[in-house]
Amino acid sequence: MGVVEDTEPPLKRAKRDEETNGFSGSNSSVRVSSSVNNSLGDLMARPLTSSQGDDETIGSKGVIKKSEFVRIITRTLYSLGYGKAGAMLEEESGIPLHHSFVETFMEQVRDGKWDESVVTLHRIGLLDEKDVKAASFLLLEQKFLELLKFDKIGDALGTLRNEIEPLRINTKRVHELASSLISSGPGKENVSSRSKVLEELQSLLPASVIIPEKRLESLVENSLHIQRDACVFHNTLDSDLSLYSDHQCGKHQIPSQTVQILESHTDEVWFLQYSHNGKYLASSSKDQTAIIWEVNANGHMSLKHKLVGHQKPVTAVLWSPDDSQVLTCGAEEVIRRWDVDSGDSLHTYEKSGVGPISCGWYADGKGIIAGMTDRSICMWDLDGREMECWKGQRTQKVSDIAMTDDGKWLVSVCKDSVISLFDREATVERLIEEEDTITSFSLSNDNRYVLVNLLNQEIRLWSIEGDPKIVTRYKGHKRSRFLIRSCFGGYEQGFIASGSEDSQVYIWHRSTGKLIIELPGHAGAVNCVSWSPTNLQMMASASDDGTIRIWGLNRINPHKQEKQVQGSSSNGVLHQCNGN
C-alpha cells in the first residue's frame, strides 16, 4: 500500500469514506452537500482565477507562465509513474497540480459521490453552460447505471426523471437509459469504470481545470513536427528526430550521388519504376526488352530477369499491387504479363486492329486496363477475357492511365489538355483542365494528388479531393521534343523529381515549389525517374544514353570529392552493372 500511496498526488492520499455498494445514495448526498458547501465556500463559487505567482514567466521570450509550466511537468511525472518526484515538485514549488476544489471533485468521482460531484462541478465556475450540462450528464448517467447495477430500480428511475431529463440534452441516450429499465432488466447495461468517467470528463472540461494527461508529450511532438515541416531538405524518418537539438536536415539527405550505373539495355531507356516493397526496380527500353533488377541488402542492384518477347519498343513496365507480377506495354503492339520470380511470360493481351498506348492494373490485381490506339479504354481479366471497353474520345496518342488503390477512380488523359477522373461507382466524371498539352501524369501514394507534366516545360500538382485545384507549380527542367516523366518521392513524398532533356535530374520541394538541386551525369535526355518507396535516400533515372543511374547519399568528403571523380562521367564513386 505504501508504494501506491507514494505514486499519487498528496490530495489523493486522503482517507476515503467507506461506502455501501461503492457509491453514495441520494440520502447521504444531502448531508454531504452541506459540508461541501461549508468547506469550499466562496472560493468554489467563483471561476478559476490566477493564484499567487501565476503571472510569473520564464524563458527568453517571456511567454511561458511558470505556474502552467510547473503543473504540466508535475502532470507528466505522475503519468510516467514518478509519484514521489511529482509530489516533491508540488511541495517544493508551492504550485499544486490542481486547485484543491478540483482535487475534491476528482476524489468525489473516484468515490462515486455523484450528488456531491455535481454540486462541486457547478461551483467550479465554468463559463460555458454547455460544458457544465455535458459533464453533469456524464456524472448522472454513471450514477444511474451504478444504481441499476445494484438493483436500485426506483432510485435509478428517480435519477433519470428528476436529474437527467431536466438537462434536456442527448435525448437519444436518455431513451436508451429508459429502455434499459424496461427491457434489459437490472444490471444489464454496461457500466464504465470511474477512471473512464474521469477520462471523459477531462475531454469535456477546460484544460485549465483538469490538465490533460499527456500535455507535455503533445507540446514536444508539435514542436518537433513544426521543425520537421519547416526543414526544406527533410528526408529522414521521425525516429531520427532528437530533443537534444533543433532539427535541420542538410542537402546531403537528398539522393544526389551516382552510386551505380546499370548498362544492360542496348538502346534508350524510356521507363522505370520501383516495386511497392522497394525490393526491385523494373525498366523498359526502345531495345524491345524490359529488365527486372533486384535491390540487394546494401542497396546494390543486380539483374534478375531480362524480359524478351516484344517486337516493338516497350513504353512502360508496371508492378502488380502485390509485386509478384509486372505488365509490359509494347508500343501499339501487345501487353504482356510476367511472373517476377521466374521471369516467365504468363499471358499476352491484344485486340485485333488496335494496339495499346498505355496500361495499368486493377486495384485488386485481378484485371488490367489499357488505353488503345482507337482511343478506347479496354479492361480484361487476367485470363484475357474482355470485361469492358469504352469507345469514343477517351485517350490520346501519348497517354497514361491508372486506377486508384480503392478501385473507385479511373484516371486517364481524355483530351490533349484534359485528365478525366471517372467515378466507377457513381458513373460520374470530374475533369482536370489544363492550359497546355498534357504529356504524362502520376498519382500520389495516398491517391489525393495528381502530378501533371505539360508540354510548356511546367509540372503542376493538382489536388483531386473534391473539385480539382492546382496546389503547386514546378519549373526549371527542359522539355521540347520527348516524353519526360516526373515522380513523388522522399519522406511522406515531400519532394518532386523529374527528368529533363538537358541530361539532368531536377528535384523540387513539394510544398513550396522551390528547386532544390540539379543532378548532372547522364549523356542524353533523362526520360523517367523513380524514387524508392522504402529507401528515402535511393532514386533511379532512365536516359536516352541507354543507362540507368542509381542515386544515393553523397557520403564523400566535399574537399576530396573532386579528386575522386576527376575524369569520370559520374558525379561520384559508383559501381557499373551490365548484367554479366
Question: DSSP labels for 380-421?
Answer: EETTS-EEEEE-SS---SS--EEE-TTS-EEEEEEETTEEEE
Q: Is the pLDDT of residue 361 over 60?
A: yes
Query: Looking at this protein, which amino acid is placed at residue 396?
Result: Q
As a whole number of angstroms, the distance between CA 283 and CA 266 comes to 12
19 Cβ contact list (under 8 Å, min separation 6): 111, 112
Residue with cell 509478384: 324
As a whole number of angstroms, the distance between CA 378 and CA 410 comes to 12
Which pTM value belongs to this model? Answer: 0.71
> What pLDDT was estimated at residue 47?
45
- H/E element holding 130? helix 129-149
CA neighbor of 201 nearest in space, from 341, 327, 105, 304: 105
pLDDT digits (tens, 9 = 90+) for 78-104: 999 999 999 999 999 999 998 888 989
- pLDDT confidence bin for 393, thresholds 50/70/90: low
- pLDDT confidence bin for 124, thresholds 50/70/90: confident
> What pLDDT was estimated at residue 26?
42
CA neighbor of 121 nearest in space, from 519, 134, 148: 134
131 Cβ contact list (under 8 Å, min separation 6): 204, 205, 206
As a whole number of angstroms, the distance between CA 287 and CA 306 comes to 11
Q: Where are the domains of the chain?
A: 2-48+99-213
Q: Where are the beta strands (DSSP E) in 90-156?
A: none
Q: Which CATH number is 2-48+99-213 given?
A: 1.25.40
pLDDT digits (tens, 9 = 90+) for 35-49: 333 333 343 334 444
Q: Which residue has the higher pLDDT, 50 or 510?
A: 510
Contact 420, 411 (CB under 8 A): yes
Q: Phi and psi (nearest 5°) for 11? A: -70, -15
> What pLDDT was estimated at residue 229?
83
Mean pLDDT of 550-572: 50
Q: Is the pLDDT of residue 52 over 70?
A: no
Q: What is the mean pLDDT of the chain?
A: 84
Q: Is the pLDDT of residue 6 over 60?
A: no
Contact 519, 505 (CB under 8 A): yes
Q: What is the dihedral of CA 166, 168, 174, 178, to 10 degrees?
A: 40
Q: List the beta bridge partners of residue 325.
A: 339
DSSP secondary structure string, 454-479? Answer: ETTSEEEEEE-SSS-EEEEEEE----
Q: List the beta bridge partners of residue 316.
A: 329
- With H, G, I as helix, E, B as strand and everything else as coil, classify residue 293: strand
**What are the contacts of 34-43 at 24+ separation with CB within 8 A?**
36/104, 36/116, 36/119, 36/120, 37/119, 39/104, 40/101, 40/104, 40/120, 40/123, 43/101
Question: Residue 319 gets which letter from DSSP?
Answer: E
CA distances from 365 to 310, 324, 340, 361 (A): 22, 10, 14, 6
Q: Where are the beta strands (DSSP E) in 228-313?
A: 257-262, 269-274, 280-285, 289-295, 301-308
As a whole number of angstroms, the distance between CA 123 and CA 305 comes to 76
What sign results for the dihedral spanned by CA atoms 283, 317, 505, 489?
negative
> What pLDDT was estimated at residue 425?
86
**What are the contacts of 220-227 at 24+ separation with CB within 8 A?**
none
Question: Residue 17 gets which letter from DSSP?
Answer: P
Q: Which residue has the higher pLDDT, 234 or 380?
A: 380
Query: Looking at this protein, which amino acid is placed at residue 71?
Result: R
**How do strand 325-330 and strand 314-319 relate by DSSP bridges?**
antiparallel
- With H, G, I as helix, E, B as strand and everything else as coil, classify residue 144: helix
- H/E element holding 434? none
> What pLDDT was estimated at residue 74?
95
- pLDDT confidence bin for 181, thresholds 50/70/90: confident
